[in-house]
Structure 1
Amino acid sequence: MGFKLEQTIERKSSNPTGGNLSNLLKKEIILFGKTFGNRRKEDFYSELGVLLKAGINLKEALSLIQENQKKEKLKIFFGEMVDGLVAGKSFFEVLHGKAEFTEYEYYSVKIGEETGTLSNIVEELGKFYERKNEQRRGLLNALTYPIIIMCTAVLVVVFMLRMVVPMFDDIFRQNGVDLPPITKMIISISNFIRDYGWLVLLFIGTLLVLRKTFSKKEWYKQGIDKMLLKIPYIGSFISSVYLAQFTQAVALLTSSKVPMLHSIQMVKEMIDFYPLNIALVDVEKGVLAGRSLNASMADSKIFDNKMVSLVKVAEETNQTEYIFERLNQQYAIEVQQKSKLLSTLMEPLIIVVIGIFVGVILISMYLPMFKLSSVVG
């Protein structure tokens, strides 16, 4: 107990020479969110797996992790887990009593304790959350720069509508120039921003503040997820991210000898993506009705033909764990490729779209200038 946890664990880094931006993206930003999110779970399971494989017993390992925490809330959090073990509870019972852990984690740890493979299960859970966080960071990397460009461009357009267009409007009014329809439309938009822009900002700010409340509502999650799936390419990309998480979770559970039906039920509770959750509910009903897993999956659009075909092979050859591991690798590669392509395509696309808006504003302002020059002449 007299050494620091950092001295016992050698951290892996995919980009050891990365700059401050890379390090920032690897941190989990918690705003009105959980204090024990996926990023902390990755650290927790990875550290616990190393300590258990080093021969340290579970209680001592949790005590070491508790001592290493800087935040008082986390010290109390891990202290309660240690107290639970001291009170005679098993580790999976301790996890089951905390809302921060899912059924997926609870049953995985339970199987690990019952089969004597807890260190392996904990290590696999660490890898699961590591890959899940990596996929999340890939999504952020793909969208961050285009979003910054879009926000900057939108501010430029709003500035032109709020400051530049009214100056031209005053000139046109003073000289009594007959305005073309496109100029009238742009001036109407400018007047709307002048009169009601603050209401729009207030509405957006209110939505951001109430986002935590809305995120718990079923209709909100359904609407957001359905909207994302309908966006060209982005919908396919997000679907691949969650399918990668699904295949990795099933591979881990099947390697722990969890029945397939039970695995689907646990993964359904763990993955927070409405279209996939609905699909898994239908798959569960199909399996309970006596249908094969691949036939039940074939009825849902979110599962592509590749996955359905390989699941059929897995059922026929009894190689479920291997097939789902291969599927996970394929989807992980697909997510990386799509994230790179997404970031490459979105930047010029946004620039073109915003350029069109700026061009329309300029043309609408210069068209009446020709009439004005003839009047002055």
Structure 2
Amino acid sequence: MVNDFTRSTVVRGKGGCNIARYRYLAKNMQGTTASGTLEASNRREVYRLLKERDYYPIKVEKVIQVRDIKDLKISSKINSRDLAVLCKQFSTMLKAGIPIVKCLDILSKQLSNRLLRSVFAEMYTEVRSGRSLSESLAGRGKYFPQLFTSMVEAGEASGTLDEVLGNLAQHYEKEHKLIQKVKNSMTYPVIVLVVAVAVVYFLLTVVVPTFVSIFSRSGAMLPLPTRMLLYLSDFMLKYGIFVLLFLIMLAFGFYLATSRGEGRYKWHKLLLRLPMVKTVVVQSISTRFSGTLGILLRTGIPLVTALEIVKKVVGNEVAQRGLQYVQETARKGGGISAPLEQLNLFPPMLIQMVRIGEESGTLDEMLLKTAEFYEGELETNLTRLTTLLEPMVIVLLGGIVAFIVLSIALPMFEMTSFVG
């Protein structure tokens, strides 16, 4: 027999101590087990209260509450990898027949992300007190994406929460792989570019100034490249720190201008016009659109509601505004293949697959197959883009270094010839 007699009991600490919440498991002399939570200033207060009611504590542990997160300096960022691990573990436990409350208790102790552990400890307490899992998630929108919350709500309502979480695990695994592919594709060119800037700065501020006195004593007319190099070196020595600060401010201003509103829209529109970048961006949008919409429809979420969620995950402002028009058409009872085609954004194959899915009543299946296809295409094109960027950056670096070396060598050759 399990008893829970202290769920709302609050023990006031002495001397203005901070009140914390503790989860306990206890037994009495008759063998009755009691479990629940207590609010007290420390563990000793919990032991005292339990013993007053003739219960002997077996286990007492402090619950980290959501309001304590700032004190712990934990970031409120939960990435796709954390969500994939969460969904996979949750789904596995539910399929094994473990109750939701027990699953939340286990997750609050074993998840690697400290923020998730803290949040699930709070959710465990709420669900134990009678709230549903979806109700507990609804108040935590800043931690969980709307896709996750809506899918859990639909799975809980249909009794297929384990399957829904399994699908979500696959979705977030693919999302994580997609993000990693993009990051890995850009890592090498960025590193080479940073090294190039550092090398050029070193040459201009350390190497070139050593030749200035030599050139000055020669009294010869210096070639144009050498004069340009000496002027640039002198400028960097005097104003290098200001140039660096200007570049940092420029990058920060660019980020602010392109991170919201009309600036974000114009930047995303520009990306869709760049020759090599456009293909990768369109395939990324297509992958997220078809994969997310497919998994939402398979769960049983209505099309209009699903499109509202999809708009927020496509990652492109142009596509987001276009999908607003598609959503309005669907709300009026029309299909989505025609308005998608009118956007002139998505590839013809995706439009055809959507049209076939609408006609055959298998839209979710067609979308998921389309997502798999574009995942492969995106990986191929990211590799191709990286292959093109690498030699371009190397050639740029080599050209800059060659210019500096040549600018120094030309007057040296002339001086050697004059002496000879």
**TM class by smaller structure:** 0.7 to 0.9
Q: 1:371 to 1:286 in 2, by over 3 A?
A: farther
Q: Which moved more, 1:98-107 or 1:334-343?
A: 334-343
- Name the counterpart of 1:257: 300
Q: Check whether the contact 1:102–1:270 (CA below 8 A) recurs between aligned residues.
A: no
- Name the counterpart of 2:172: 129
Alignment of 1:272-283 (within 5 A): 272-283=315-326
- Name the counterpart of 2:85: 43
From 86, 89, 111, the counterpart of 2:128:
86
Q: Deviations over 1:90-120 (max 9, x none)?
A: 1111111102122222221111111111111
Q: Which runs of 5+ in 1 are unaligned?
A: 1-30
- Name the counterpart of 1:75: 117
Q: 1:74 to 1:211 in 2, by over 3 A?
A: farther
Q: Check whether the contact 1:287–1:296 (CA below 8 A) recurs between aligned residues.
A: no
- 1:252 is displaced (CA, Å) by 0.4
Q: Check whether the contact 1:103–1:266 (CA below 8 A) recurs between aligned residues.
A: yes
- Name the counterpart of 2:361: 318
- Name the counterpart of 1:244: 287
From 180, 184, 206, the counterpart of 2:223:
180
- Does 1:161 find its partner at 2:225? no
- Name the counterpart of 2:337: 294
Q: Given residue 54 of structure 1, which amino acid in structure 2 is its aligned partner? A: A
From 167, 174, 195, the counterpart of 2:238:
195
Q: 1:352 to 1:212 in 2, by over 3 A?
A: closer
Q: Check whether the contact 1:146–1:350 (CA below 8 A) recurs between aligned residues.
A: yes
Q: 1:71 to 1:146 in 2, by over 3 A?
A: closer
- Does 1:62 find its partner at 2:123? no
Radius of gyration: which is bigger?
2
Greater share of residues in helix: 1
Q: 1:137 to 1:175 in 2, by over 3 A?
A: same
Q: Check whether the contact 2:303–2:330 (CA below 8 A) recurs between aligned residues.
A: no
TM-score of the superposed pair, with normalisation by structure 1: 0.81
Return the structure number with greater relative CO, CA threshold 8 A, min gap 6.
Answer: 1
Q: Given residue 349 of structure 1, which amino acid in structure 2 is its aligned partner? A: M
- 1:144 is displaced (CA, Å) by 1.9
Q: 2:223 and 2:257 mapped to 1: Cα distance? A: 44
Q: Given residue 197 of structure 2, which amino acid in structure 1 is its aligned partner? A: V
Q: Check whether the contact 2:86–2:111 (CA below 8 A) recurs between aligned residues.
A: no
- Name the counterpart of 1:52: 94
Q: Deviations over 1:120-166 (max 9, x none)?
A: 11111111111100111112222223322332233222222222223
- Name the counterpart of 1:336: 379
SS at match of 2:208: helix
- Does 1:369 find its partner at 2:400? no
Q: Deviations over 1:339-376 (max 9, x none)?
A: 33233333222212211121222223333334434544
Q: 1:59 and 1:215 mapped to 2: Cα distance? A: 43
- 1:267 is displaced (CA, Å) by 1.1
Identity of aligned residues (%): 27
Q: Deviations over 1:269-328 (max 9, x none)?
A: 234432322222232244446654122112324312221222222222222112101111
Q: 1:188 to 1:78 in 2, by over 3 A?
A: same
- Name the counterpart of 1:97: 139
TM-score of the superposed pair, with normalisation by structure 2: 0.74
Q: Check whether the contact 1:92–1:110 (CA below 8 A) recurs between aligned residues.
A: yes
- 1:218 is displaced (CA, Å) by 3.6
Q: 1:230 and 1:369 mapped to 2: Cα distance? A: 47
Q: Which moved more, 1:36-45 or 1:162-171?
A: 162-171
Q: Check whether the contact 2:287–2:371 (CA below 8 A) recurs between aligned residues.
A: yes
Q: 1:130 and 1:368 mapped to 2: Cα distance? A: 59
- Name the counterpart of 2:154: 111
- Name the counterpart of 1:20: none
Q: Which moved more, 1:174-183 or 1:38-47?
A: 174-183
Q: Given residue 141 of structure 1, which amino acid in structure 2 is its aligned partner? A: N
Q: Check whether the contact 1:102–1:269 (CA below 8 A) recurs between aligned residues.
A: no
- Name the counterpart of 2:76: 34
Q: 1:306 to 1:64 in 2, by over 3 A?
A: same
Greater share of residues in strand: 2
- Name the counterpart of 2:30: none
Q: 1:225 and 1:335 mapped to 2: Cα distance? A: 18
Aligned residue pairs, count: 348
Q: Given residue 159 of structure 1, which amino acid in structure 2 is its aligned partner? A: F
Q: Deviations over 1:66-102 (max 9, x none)?
A: 1214666443211111122123221111111102122
Q: Which moved more, 1:217-226 or 1:41-50?
A: 217-226
Q: 1:222 to 1:175 in 2, by over 3 A?
A: farther
Q: Which runs of 5+ in 2 are unaligned?
A: 1-72
SS at match of 1:270: coil
